[in-house]
Structure 1
Amino acid sequence: MPDESENYQVIRAACLRYLIRREHSQHELLQKISAKGFVRQEIQAVIGELVEQGLQSDARFAESYARSRVHKGFGPLRIKAELQQRGVSGCPFEMAVEDIAGSWQELLAEVYSKKFGKETGLDIKEKFRRSLFLQQRGFPNELVRQLFKQLAL
Protein backbone atom coordinates (compact mmCIF):
# COMPACT_ATOMS: atom_id res chain seq x y z
CA MET A 1 0.00 0.00 0.00
CA PRO A 2 1.43 3.41 -0.96
CA ASP A 3 2.15 5.87 1.84
CA GLU A 4 0.32 9.18 2.26
CA SER A 5 2.78 11.26 0.25
CA GLU A 6 2.39 8.89 -2.70
CA ASN A 7 -1.42 9.09 -2.38
CA TYR A 8 -1.18 12.88 -2.20
CA GLN A 9 0.87 13.03 -5.39
CA VAL A 10 -1.43 10.61 -7.25
CA ILE A 11 -4.57 12.45 -6.12
CA ARG A 12 -3.11 15.85 -7.00
CA ALA A 13 -2.00 14.64 -10.43
CA ALA A 14 -5.44 13.17 -11.14
CA CYS A 15 -7.17 16.39 -10.06
CA LEU A 16 -4.89 18.45 -12.25
CA ARG A 17 -5.51 16.18 -15.24
CA TYR A 18 -9.25 16.76 -14.85
CA LEU A 19 -8.81 20.51 -14.40
CA ILE A 20 -6.58 20.79 -17.46
CA ARG A 21 -9.37 19.42 -19.67
CA ARG A 22 -12.11 21.71 -18.28
CA GLU A 23 -13.26 23.40 -15.10
CA HIS A 24 -14.66 20.99 -12.49
CA SER A 25 -16.55 21.68 -9.29
CA GLN A 26 -15.11 20.45 -6.00
CA HIS A 27 -17.99 17.96 -5.82
CA GLU A 28 -17.20 16.55 -9.28
CA LEU A 29 -13.52 16.16 -8.44
CA LEU A 30 -14.38 14.45 -5.16
CA GLN A 31 -16.69 11.99 -6.94
CA LYS A 32 -14.26 11.19 -9.75
CA ILE A 33 -11.24 10.68 -7.50
CA SER A 34 -13.28 8.73 -4.90
CA ALA A 35 -14.25 6.31 -7.66
CA LYS A 36 -10.54 5.48 -7.99
CA GLY A 37 -10.54 4.15 -4.42
CA PHE A 38 -8.91 6.98 -2.48
CA VAL A 39 -10.03 8.15 0.95
CA ARG A 40 -12.38 11.17 0.93
CA GLN A 41 -10.42 13.06 3.58
CA GLU A 42 -7.21 12.84 1.55
CA ILE A 43 -9.05 13.98 -1.57
CA GLN A 44 -10.69 16.88 0.26
CA ALA A 45 -7.31 18.00 1.60
CA VAL A 46 -5.83 18.05 -1.91
CA ILE A 47 -8.87 19.86 -3.34
CA GLY A 48 -8.63 22.39 -0.51
CA GLU A 49 -5.04 23.13 -1.46
CA LEU A 50 -5.98 23.48 -5.14
CA VAL A 51 -8.67 25.99 -4.14
CA GLU A 52 -6.17 27.98 -2.03
CA GLN A 53 -3.75 28.02 -4.96
CA GLY A 54 -6.49 29.24 -7.32
CA LEU A 55 -6.29 26.14 -9.49
CA GLN A 56 -9.88 25.15 -8.72
CA SER A 57 -12.81 27.51 -8.28
CA ASP A 58 -16.50 26.66 -8.01
CA ALA A 59 -17.36 30.20 -9.14
CA ARG A 60 -15.21 29.79 -12.26
CA PHE A 61 -16.79 26.39 -12.88
CA ALA A 62 -20.31 27.86 -12.53
CA GLU A 63 -19.51 30.65 -14.98
CA SER A 64 -17.98 28.27 -17.52
CA TYR A 65 -20.79 25.73 -17.20
CA ALA A 66 -23.51 28.39 -17.42
CA ARG A 67 -21.87 29.92 -20.48
CA SER A 68 -21.90 26.59 -22.31
CA ARG A 69 -25.54 25.92 -21.36
CA VAL A 70 -26.63 29.43 -22.42
CA HIS A 71 -24.94 28.82 -25.79
CA LYS A 72 -27.11 25.71 -26.11
CA GLY A 73 -30.29 27.67 -25.33
CA PHE A 74 -31.05 26.64 -21.76
CA GLY A 75 -32.79 28.93 -19.29
CA PRO A 76 -31.95 30.03 -15.74
CA LEU A 77 -34.04 27.45 -13.89
CA ARG A 78 -32.45 24.52 -15.70
CA ILE A 79 -28.92 25.90 -15.37
CA LYS A 80 -29.40 26.54 -11.65
CA ALA A 81 -30.73 22.98 -11.12
CA GLU A 82 -27.85 21.45 -13.08
CA LEU A 83 -25.30 23.45 -11.09
CA GLN A 84 -26.87 22.22 -7.85
CA GLN A 85 -26.56 18.64 -9.13
CA ARG A 86 -22.87 19.30 -9.64
CA GLY A 87 -22.46 20.53 -6.07
CA VAL A 88 -22.40 24.26 -6.82
CA SER A 89 -25.05 26.57 -5.47
CA GLY A 90 -25.11 30.26 -4.84
CA CYS A 91 -22.59 31.13 -7.53
CA PRO A 92 -23.78 33.91 -9.83
CA PHE A 93 -23.94 32.98 -13.49
CA GLU A 94 -25.98 35.88 -14.88
CA MET A 95 -22.99 37.35 -16.70
CA ALA A 96 -22.99 34.37 -19.05
CA VAL A 97 -26.36 35.32 -20.53
CA GLU A 98 -25.56 39.04 -20.55
CA ASP A 99 -22.41 38.39 -22.60
CA ILE A 100 -24.10 36.02 -25.04
CA ALA A 101 -27.71 37.12 -25.54
CA GLY A 102 -28.19 40.33 -23.55
CA SER A 103 -30.96 39.04 -21.28
CA TRP A 104 -32.94 35.91 -20.48
CA GLN A 105 -35.89 37.36 -22.44
CA GLU A 106 -33.72 37.83 -25.53
CA LEU A 107 -32.31 34.32 -25.19
CA LEU A 108 -35.84 32.94 -24.86
CA ALA A 109 -36.91 34.77 -28.04
CA GLU A 110 -33.86 33.33 -29.87
CA VAL A 111 -34.60 29.79 -28.71
CA TYR A 112 -38.27 30.13 -29.66
CA SER A 113 -37.63 31.50 -33.15
CA LYS A 114 -34.93 28.92 -33.85
CA LYS A 115 -37.26 26.07 -32.87
CA PHE A 116 -40.63 27.36 -34.11
CA GLY A 117 -40.05 30.22 -36.56
CA LYS A 118 -42.52 33.11 -36.87
CA GLU A 119 -45.78 31.15 -37.21
CA THR A 120 -48.83 32.81 -35.62
CA GLY A 121 -52.49 31.92 -35.16
CA LEU A 122 -51.83 28.86 -33.01
CA ASP A 123 -54.50 26.85 -31.26
CA ILE A 124 -54.40 26.40 -27.49
CA LYS A 125 -52.96 22.88 -27.73
CA GLU A 126 -50.00 24.07 -29.84
CA LYS A 127 -49.37 27.04 -27.52
CA PHE A 128 -49.32 24.65 -24.58
CA ARG A 129 -46.90 22.31 -26.37
CA ARG A 130 -44.54 25.17 -27.19
CA SER A 131 -44.83 26.57 -23.69
CA LEU A 132 -43.96 23.17 -22.23
CA PHE A 133 -40.90 22.93 -24.48
CA LEU A 134 -39.63 26.30 -23.26
CA GLN A 135 -40.30 25.42 -19.63
CA GLN A 136 -38.38 22.17 -20.01
CA ARG A 137 -35.47 24.22 -21.34
CA GLY A 138 -35.51 26.07 -18.01
CA PHE A 139 -37.36 29.28 -18.74
CA PRO A 140 -39.79 30.55 -16.06
CA ASN A 141 -43.52 30.67 -16.81
CA GLU A 142 -43.59 34.47 -16.56
CA LEU A 143 -40.94 34.89 -19.27
CA VAL A 144 -42.79 32.46 -21.53
CA ARG A 145 -46.06 34.38 -21.00
CA GLN A 146 -44.31 37.66 -21.83
CA LEU A 147 -42.88 36.17 -25.00
CA PHE A 148 -46.28 34.89 -26.13
CA LYS A 149 -47.76 38.37 -25.50
CA GLN A 150 -44.99 40.00 -27.55
CA LEU A 151 -45.52 37.55 -30.39
CA ALA A 152 -49.33 37.92 -30.11
CA LEU A 153 -49.84 34.16 -30.07
Structure 2
Amino acid sequence: MRPQFGPIDCTHDQFRPFKPIDCAQNPIFVTFFYISRSALYLTYTPSFTSFCSRVEFKHTISNALAIKLQKLLMLSCHRRILLSKLVHLATDHGLPPNFHSRLCNDYPERFKIVETLYGRALELVSWDPDLANLLPMASSNCDLIVDRPLKFK
Protein backbone atom coordinates (compact mmCIF):
# COMPACT_ATOMS: atom_id res chain seq x y z
CA MET A 1 0.00 0.00 0.00
CA ARG A 2 1.28 3.42 -0.94
CA PRO A 3 -0.01 6.43 1.06
CA GLN A 4 -1.59 9.19 -1.00
CA PHE A 5 -1.88 12.77 0.21
CA GLY A 6 -4.54 15.29 -0.59
CA PRO A 7 -8.04 16.42 0.24
CA ILE A 8 -10.56 13.62 -0.08
CA ASP A 9 -14.26 13.27 0.51
CA CYS A 10 -14.51 10.67 3.24
CA THR A 11 -18.30 10.55 3.39
CA HIS A 12 -18.61 7.64 0.96
CA ASP A 13 -19.06 4.06 2.15
CA GLN A 14 -15.88 2.97 0.41
CA PHE A 15 -13.73 4.86 2.93
CA ARG A 16 -13.28 3.57 6.42
CA PRO A 17 -11.05 5.00 9.13
CA PHE A 18 -7.73 3.28 9.50
CA LYS A 19 -6.24 3.76 12.95
CA PRO A 20 -3.17 1.77 13.79
CA ILE A 21 -1.94 1.95 17.37
CA ASP A 22 1.01 4.27 16.68
CA CYS A 23 -1.13 6.87 14.81
CA ALA A 24 -4.04 6.95 17.25
CA GLN A 25 -3.18 10.36 18.74
CA ASN A 26 -1.99 12.10 15.56
CA PRO A 27 -3.24 15.74 15.62
CA ILE A 28 -2.20 16.48 12.02
CA PHE A 29 -3.33 13.62 9.78
CA VAL A 30 -6.34 11.36 9.60
CA THR A 31 -5.75 8.14 7.71
CA PHE A 32 -8.42 6.41 5.64
CA PHE A 33 -8.32 3.08 3.87
CA TYR A 34 -9.90 3.03 0.40
CA ILE A 35 -11.51 -0.42 0.28
CA SER A 36 -11.98 -0.99 -3.46
CA ARG A 37 -8.47 0.19 -4.40
CA SER A 38 -6.67 -1.09 -1.31
CA ALA A 39 -5.08 2.31 -0.89
CA LEU A 40 -4.23 4.31 2.19
CA TYR A 41 -5.19 8.01 2.09
CA LEU A 42 -4.08 10.76 4.45
CA THR A 43 -5.94 14.02 5.00
CA TYR A 44 -5.50 16.90 7.44
CA THR A 45 -7.55 17.05 10.61
CA PRO A 46 -10.00 19.95 10.98
CA SER A 47 -8.05 21.29 13.96
CA PHE A 48 -4.83 21.40 11.91
CA THR A 49 -6.51 23.20 9.00
CA SER A 50 -7.99 25.80 11.36
CA PHE A 51 -4.56 26.21 12.98
CA CYS A 52 -2.98 26.82 9.55
CA SER A 53 -5.61 29.42 8.67
CA ARG A 54 -5.04 31.22 12.00
CA VAL A 55 -1.27 31.29 11.42
CA GLU A 56 -1.81 32.68 7.92
CA PHE A 57 -4.20 35.32 9.29
CA LYS A 58 -1.71 36.37 11.99
CA HIS A 59 1.03 36.65 9.37
CA THR A 60 -1.19 38.87 7.21
CA ILE A 61 -1.96 41.18 10.14
CA SER A 62 1.69 41.26 11.18
CA ASN A 63 2.73 42.23 7.66
CA ALA A 64 0.12 45.02 7.53
CA LEU A 65 1.32 46.39 10.88
CA ALA A 66 4.94 46.27 9.72
CA ILE A 67 4.02 48.26 6.60
CA LYS A 68 2.17 50.81 8.74
CA LEU A 69 5.17 51.19 11.05
CA GLN A 70 7.51 51.45 8.07
CA LYS A 71 5.38 54.26 6.59
CA LEU A 72 5.47 56.08 9.93
CA LEU A 73 9.26 55.81 10.07
CA MET A 74 9.53 56.99 6.47
CA LEU A 75 7.61 60.14 7.46
CA SER A 76 9.97 60.91 10.33
CA CYS A 77 12.83 63.36 9.95
CA HIS A 78 15.82 61.10 10.60
CA ARG A 79 14.07 57.79 9.79
CA ARG A 80 13.96 56.95 13.49
CA ILE A 81 11.51 57.48 16.33
CA LEU A 82 12.12 57.00 20.04
CA LEU A 83 10.54 53.85 21.44
CA SER A 84 9.12 55.84 24.34
CA LYS A 85 7.16 57.96 21.83
CA LEU A 86 6.06 54.93 19.81
CA VAL A 87 4.71 53.23 22.92
CA HIS A 88 2.32 56.15 23.39
CA LEU A 89 1.27 56.05 19.72
CA ALA A 90 1.00 52.26 19.52
CA THR A 91 -2.64 51.97 20.53
CA ASP A 92 -3.66 54.79 18.18
CA HIS A 93 -2.05 53.00 15.24
CA GLY A 94 -3.28 49.53 16.18
CA LEU A 95 0.13 48.18 17.13
CA PRO A 96 0.36 45.45 19.78
CA PRO A 97 1.93 46.31 23.15
CA ASN A 98 5.02 44.20 22.37
CA PHE A 99 5.55 45.59 18.86
CA HIS A 100 9.19 46.54 19.46
CA SER A 101 10.17 42.99 20.35
CA ARG A 102 7.85 41.11 18.01
CA LEU A 103 7.75 43.19 14.82
CA CYS A 104 11.41 44.18 14.95
CA ASN A 105 12.50 40.58 15.37
CA ASP A 106 10.13 39.34 12.66
CA TYR A 107 11.20 42.01 10.14
CA PRO A 108 14.93 42.73 10.61
CA GLU A 109 15.15 43.82 6.96
CA ARG A 110 12.85 46.76 7.77
CA PHE A 111 13.61 47.86 11.36
CA LYS A 112 16.32 47.85 13.95
CA ILE A 113 16.58 49.23 17.47
CA VAL A 114 19.44 51.68 18.02
CA GLU A 115 20.75 53.57 21.04
CA THR A 116 20.60 57.36 20.82
CA LEU A 117 21.41 60.18 23.23
CA TYR A 118 17.73 60.35 24.17
CA GLY A 119 17.18 56.61 24.63
CA ARG A 120 16.41 53.61 22.46
CA ALA A 121 14.88 54.33 19.07
CA LEU A 122 13.37 52.35 16.24
CA GLU A 123 15.23 53.02 13.01
CA LEU A 124 14.22 52.31 9.45
CA VAL A 125 16.64 49.96 7.70
CA SER A 126 15.28 49.94 4.16
CA TRP A 127 13.40 52.60 2.24
CA ASP A 128 10.53 51.23 0.15
CA PRO A 129 9.80 53.44 -2.88
CA ASP A 130 6.42 51.73 -3.37
CA LEU A 131 5.26 53.05 0.00
CA ALA A 132 6.54 56.57 -0.73
CA ASN A 133 3.93 57.44 -3.36
CA LEU A 134 2.98 61.08 -3.72
CA LEU A 135 -0.62 62.16 -3.70
CA PRO A 136 -1.99 62.93 -7.16
CA MET A 137 -2.04 66.60 -8.09
CA ALA A 138 -5.44 68.28 -8.24
CA SER A 139 -6.43 69.30 -11.73
CA SER A 140 -6.65 73.06 -12.27
CA ASN A 141 -9.71 72.89 -14.50
CA CYS A 142 -12.00 71.19 -12.01
CA ASP A 143 -15.70 72.02 -12.02
CA LEU A 144 -16.35 74.73 -9.47
CA ILE A 145 -19.70 75.35 -7.84
CA VAL A 146 -19.38 79.09 -8.39
CA ASP A 147 -18.16 80.07 -11.83
CA ARG A 148 -15.86 82.92 -10.91
CA PRO A 149 -12.10 83.06 -10.41
CA LEU A 150 -10.68 82.23 -7.01
CA LYS A 151 -9.68 85.20 -4.83
CA PHE A 152 -6.83 83.46 -3.04
CA LYS A 153 -4.33 81.03 -4.43
TM-score (norm: length of structure 1): 0.27
The structure whose residues are more often helix, as a share, is 1
Give the TM-score of the pair, scaled to structure 2: 0.27
User: Looking at both structures, which has the greater relative contact order when contacts are Cα pairs under 8 Å and sequence separation is at least 6?
Assistant: 1
User: Which of 1 and 2 has greater Rg?
Assistant: 2
Could you say which structure has the higher strand fraction?
2
